[in-house]
Amino acid sequence: MSIVAVIQARMSSQRLPRKVLTPIAGRPLLEHLLLRLDRSRSIEQRVLATSVDPSDDELADWATRRGETVVRGPLDDVLERFVMAIHLTSARTVIRVTGDNPLTSAESIDRTVSALAERGGDYAAETGLPVGAAAEVVRASALTRSARHTEEIRHREHVTLYIRENPDVFQILTMPAPATVRRPHYRLTVDEPADLELMQLVFRHLGTGAPPPLEVVIAFLDANPGVAALNNGVSQFVP
């Protein structure tokens, strides 16, 4: 079984342009994410899925120079980019990762991949993690089937939305995250200036060594509620 992490990323964010290559503690945001994905025992391949829009030329060049596999597709049809990645890699299982989540938990990815393999189904995710710490694990066949059955813009933009909205068609598995990292009120994604400010403080604390597990990040935020509250006023909506 080929297990492929597909990282969706683009440079043209409206609220925080160029955020995926914005430096945090001396490294581009996306590099922090890739280093965390290196911790996963489950990922066999990974692909950066960006767009053919000229605004993403710099991102594609950066990833290629780093040795990453890159696919480029429609700017707004992110689901099509995932289908392209599936065809390129012959993936059987896809881990959906978003490029603005530099603290994605590799440990959560491994738990979720194992749960889907052991219990079966089309889609799996952990619940209760901080916003931006989780990834979704999906059968490639379910993604390609969803792409054939919907042309709605919201489904094409939010890759797994059609699957999650149709539990009568797709078998969906959700598991509560371990209590040590179950902090749904924490926000660890980067979409607003306040999010970026929080990340700068977190990574300054973590240092430049090997990325620590999410438990260490949680412990820091628990001990520093003022840091954790920096982006409290930002919407918690995650598609």
Q: What is the pLDDT of residues 54-88, one digit of tens each?
A: 999 999 999 999 999 999 999 999 999 999 999 99
Show the domains of the chain with their CATH numbers: 3-228 (3.90.550.10)
Q: What is the pLDDT of residues 106-132, one digit of tens each?
A: 999 999 999 999 999 999 999 999 999
According to the model, what pLDDT value does residue 233 have?
65
Of 104, 72, 102, 100, residue with least CA distance to 88: 72
Is residue 54 packed enough to be buried (19+ CB in 10 Å), middle (13-18) or exposed (0-12)?
exposed
According to the model, what pLDDT value does residue 237 have?
43
Q: What is the pLDDT of residues 16-45, one digit of tens each?
A: 999 999 999 999 999 999 999 999 999 999
Q: What is the pLDDT of residues 153-178, one digit of tens each?
A: 999 999 999 999 999 999 999 999 99
Asked if 103 and 203 count as a contact pair (C-beta separation under 8 A), the reply is no
Number of residues that make up the chain: 239
CB-based contacts of 65, cutoff 8 Å, min separation 6: none
Asked if 142 and 170 count as a contact pair (C-beta separation under 8 A), the reply is yes
Q: Would the pTM count as exceeding 0.75?
A: yes
Q: How confident is the model at residue 1 (pLDDT cuts 50, 70, 90)?
A: low
Average pLDDT for 140-153: 97
Q: Is the pLDDT of residue 208 over 80?
A: no
Q: How confident is the model at residue 238 (pLDDT cuts 50, 70, 90)?
A: very low
Handedness of CA 227, 17, 23, 135 (dihedral sign): positive
What is the C-alpha to C-alpha distance for residues 42 and 113, in angstroms, rounded to an integer? 7
Q: Is the pLDDT of residue 2 over 50?
A: yes
Average pLDDT, the chain: 95
